[in-house]
A and B are shown apart, each in its own frame.
Chain A
Amino acid sequence: MSDLEANDLCVRIAGRTILNNVSACFARGKVTAIVGPNGAGKSTLLDCLVHLRTPQSGRVVLGGQDIGRISERQRARQVAYVPQNAEVVWAINGETFVGLGRTPYVGAWGLSRDDRACVSAALSMTDTEEYRHRVISTLSGGERARMMIARALAGQPEWLLADEPLAGLDPGHVLDMGDLFRKLARDRGCGIIVTLHDLGAALRIADRVIVLAQGQIIADAAPIEALTPDVLRQAYGIVTQTLDGANGPVLEVLGRGL
């Protein structure tokens, strides 16, 4: 019953249809990657799943309950969200920033000792302890992206939804982050839903890939079954082939289709 479901979501913004009858059921303990071309509706789908946006029709159900009926605090305890290019206004340091992830738990008196332990754990999981005392605005894009994940993990959520969490990371940290997502899903039963542009990473990291194009789901299956040449030609207009690499299948992009 702890599933996160999207049922027939339709979203129109300024007369344009962004999502058209999108339905998907997500299970905890799995990493799901949502891929698709720019403007396909990936971020809008995430917004609906975390209740930042209410779809014109359809509904999102979390643990059998309409997500809009769950209290703000309760929802935030269950679902953590990492947006793309998040704004950070004041010159707060890394520790304070990650501490904000405890907001759904804190009362009027600030962080407790347990809260601080969660912050430290989140920093060590994302290999960001060295940024504890750095001001967030002085971090590079990739460093900040890892801090965003740390902030989300500090809340020990059941669900982690992240928009482009790998954008701006160096290859080493892309691998680390992928491993972290898999570990969180496997060991903690965390449900992870990420949007990705890197199809190779989707192939490696995800248990399941949803391909979104023009507001509709055109494939929803295990990575190797979803990222087929046919689907990718339809979604992106590119020609690809899948090769057998040393560590499993590898996706090669051959060029633009004609």
Chain B
Amino acid sequence: MTDAKRPLLYLCLVSLVAVLAVASMSAGKVWVPWSAWLGSKGDPAWAILFELRLPRTLLAMMIGAALGLTGAALQGYTRNPLADPGMLGVSGMAALGAVTTFYMGSFAAAVWVLPFFAMVGAALGVVMLLLMAGVTSSSITFILAGVVIQTVAGAGVALALNLAPNPWAVTEIVNWLMGAVTDRSFDEVKIAAPGMLAGCLFLLGQGRMLDALTLGENGARTLGVSLVRGRLLLTFGVALAVGSAVAVTGVIGFVGLIVPHLLRPLVGAKPSALLLPSALGGAALTLAADILVRLLPAATEVKLGVAMAAIGGPFFLILLVSMRRKLA
């Protein structure tokens, strides 16, 4: 893509996010009419709009952006189009931290307990990662260490389910793991926003390193890029962004994998050019999926994480097949 077209793409993506955000405010079991936007505070429609739908919409946008951006950054860093935000084990450890609170039954004590433990889990994951792989090892070692941590965290979650004190704890854990932005308040937004914002800024600053890595690690080093500092910043960025996202919404997969793929044909293969569009694309996709789960005529609302995988999977496959056909 030429540089002249880039502002146009940003404009399209920003308008898409804006339209979907407005739709997300209005759509659901109760359709909120336009008049309620200017209503008074005591009005039930106003309450739905600003106390239920607004935090939900904000959260969907935030986690979508964080996951899309993280996916693009990690695909660039690992030079592997299959990388996703779960890759470094951070999301697994965050989930394990959250699950621990369900297991102990302490999650209900206060609104911050679960996110706090999830963030502790994410931080622990980063410490493990840096202890296992260090900052100077090859990126293969680094990724393998991440995969190991993700596996261990998955085993920990399974163990918590296995040893759960009662069936309610199991249900709580399973429900939470599926990932959703339902019934969230501004408390969750306040808890997640600082970490996500800081993490995203860290990641957006890595464009120069990601581009240089197109020439491999030695290539990047001879171009004057410090891979040690880059890896540290990337790790903290991923931990803050994904850790905060998992802490308030559970595990929502696929966004980070699929969005960079969708946008790569539009922005070109240069990793830095993919970062910001992936954040916007992630926000749009997550908003769209969240609107969809609200409108599905099911007795129990389908979880966002589930819907994302169910729709995203086949969609992604079709995309890949059609792209292949174009290349062949």
On A, residues with C-beta under 8 Å from B are 50, 52, 72-77, 79-81, 83, 86-93, 96-97, 100-101, 103-104, 106-108, 110, 155
Contact = CB atoms under 8 A, between A and B. Distances in A.
B214 A89 contact: yes
Contacts of A73: 224
Contacts, number: 71
Interface string B252-282: 0000000000000000111110000000000
A100 B214 contact: yes
Contacts of B211: 100, 103
A103 B211 CA distance: 9
Contacts of A103: 208, 211-212, 223-225
Contact of B224 (A77, A86, A97, A110): A77
A257 B211 CA distance: 49
B113 interface: no
B39 interface: no
A101 B211 CA distance: 11
A108 B218 contact: no
Contacts of A106: 208
Interface in B196-253: 205, 207-208, 211-216, 218-219, 221-226
Given A103-B212, A104-B224, A108-B208, A92 B272 contact: no
B215 A87 contact: yes
Contact of B270 (A74, A76, A87, A96): A96
A110 B207 CA distance: 9
A92 B224 contact: no
A89 B212 CA distance: 10
B205 A108 contact: yes
Given A92-B269, A100-B211, A103-B211, A87 B223 contact: no
Most buried by A among B222, B226, B269, B272: B222
Contacts of A107: 208
Contact of B215 (A72, A74, A86, A108): A86
Interface residues of B, number: 23
B268 A87 contact: no
A110 B268 CA distance: 15
A83 B222 CA distance: 10
Given A72-B221, A76-B223, A103-B224, A110 B269 contact: no
Contacts of A90: 79, 214, 269-271
A155 B271 CA distance: 20
Among A90, A97, A100, A104, find the residue whose CB has the most chain B CB atoms closer than 10 A.
Answer: A90
A100 B215 contact: yes
A83 B219 contact: yes
A92 B205 contact: no
A7 to B, nearest CB: 21
B222 A80 contact: yes
Nearest to A83: B218
The interface residues of chain B, by DSSP majority, are classed as helix
B83 to A, nearest CB: 12
A89 B216 contact: yes
A104 B219 contact: no
B80 to A, nearest CB: 9
Nearest to B227: A72
Nearest to B213: A89
B59 to A, nearest CB: 28
Given A72-B224, A110-B207, 16 more contacts: A52-B218, A52-B222, A72-B226, A76-B222, A76-B224, A76-B225, A83-B218, A83-B219, A87-B215, A87-B219, A90-B214, A91-B269, A96-B268, A100-B215, A104-B224, A108-B205
A73 B268 CA distance: 26
A-B pairs with lowest CB-CB distance, top 7: A76-B224, A90-B269, A104-B224, A103-B223, A73-B224, A81-B222, A89-B79
B223 A104 contact: yes
Contact of A72 (B207, B225, B270, B271): B225
Nearest to A116: B3
Given A72-B225, A100-B223, A103-B223, A88 B214 contact: yes
Contacts of A110: 207, 272
A74 B205 CA distance: 20
Contacts of B268: 92-93, 96
17 contacts: A50-B222, A52-B221, A76-B223, A79-B222, A83-B222, A86-B216, A86-B219, A87-B215, A89-B213, A89-B214, A90-B271, A92-B269, A92-B270, A100-B212, A103-B211, A103-B225, A108-B205
A85 B163 CA distance: 54
A1 to B, nearest CB: 21
A75 B223 CA distance: 9
Nearest to A106: B208
B225 to A, nearest CB: 7
Nearest to A102: B223
A76 B226 CA distance: 11
Contacts of B213: 89
